[in-house]
Amino acid sequence: MTTTYHPLDSASRFYSNAFRDYYISRTLDKPLHHRRQSPLPRFSTLRRERTSRPLSTSFIDTSSELDHIPYSFENFHLRRREIPLCTPGELLDIIRTPAGYYALPTDPWNEVYPGIFLSDAPTAMCTSLLKRMGITHVLNAAQGKEKNCGQVNTWPGFYTQSGIQFLGVPAFDNIVFRLHPYFEEAAVFIDEALKSGGKVLVHCQAGISRSATLVCAFLMLKHGFTVQEAVKSVRKNRAIIPNDGFLKQLCDLNDKLNRKTTTIDAV
């Protein structure tokens, strides 16, 4: 009797042999086919490790667990996570008041605080006008030669014949520029000018962002203004639009000053 093999029979034998090889490779100590092992543990292992680890202290609800800790400088870092004392959005609301939208200055310069004038670049570069205004000190918040980037190229020698003292801050008007390292130096310059009976012109390209930020920092550092009070005081006399990065740096300065005062009082 002649046996006839159907093509499906050979296919079945092929797959059964393949399954046998696979089974043997899975049961032997050394697999026939070395497959690349994942560097990560199995999900079940991760799950067991995750549930067995002790809870990190960073996740403790500090609203109740740490209330018994006395408030002092030594355990200041153990207190509940502090809420910022201001936000850039809050300052933007002040800047947009009362119309509810941004505005540009209608004058090239304005006196925003007794003895402090905010102005644009053309005003700062007209020495004859500065003499008539009685300006004794000029703070250029945009010093530099990059005119396309909004910088104004003045230096101490520019005002020598006018007898005007000068301070330059090489700032750019963008949100990533770190203006806060210049806060203290600018505040000291303005403060000394006013104490000597002088008048200070603080300017940048338009007199609305970099220069306004430095004046607000001065009011906070030397006169104890909160950032909200400083922005309101300047905005009342001149339309200003500091960029969001500068507003954030003013908020950080405000938080630092107020928390430092609170800590000293508590100790």
Phi, psi of 100, rounded to the nearest 5 degrees: 90, 5
Catalytic annotation on 204? yes
Predicted local confidence at residue 37, as pLDDT: 52
Predicted local confidence at residue 73, as pLDDT: 44
How far is 126 from 136, CA to CA, in rounded Å? Answer: 13
Render each residue's pLDDT in the chain as its tens digit; 267 residues: 555 555 545 555 544 555 555 555 555 544 444 455 545 444 444 444 444 444 333 333 433 443 444 544 444 444 445 677 899 999 999 999 888 999 999 999 999 999 999 999 999 999 999 999 999 999 999 999 999 999 999 999 999 999 999 999 999 999 999 999 999 999 999 999 999 999 999 999 999 999 999 999 999 999 999 999 999 999 999 999 999 999 999 999 999 998 865 544 554
CB count in 10 Å sphere of residue 166: 18
Predicted local confidence at residue 262, as pLDDT: 53
Ramachandran class of 175: left when φ > 0, alpha when ψ lies in -120 to 50, beta otherwise: alpha
Question: What are the C-alpha distances in Å from 78 to residues 71, 75, 81, 256, 264?
Answer: 9, 5, 8, 17, 16
Domains of the chain and any CATH numbers: 88-102+112-265 (3.90.190.10)
Catalytic residue among 86, 204, 216, 251: 204
pTM to 2 decimals? 0.69
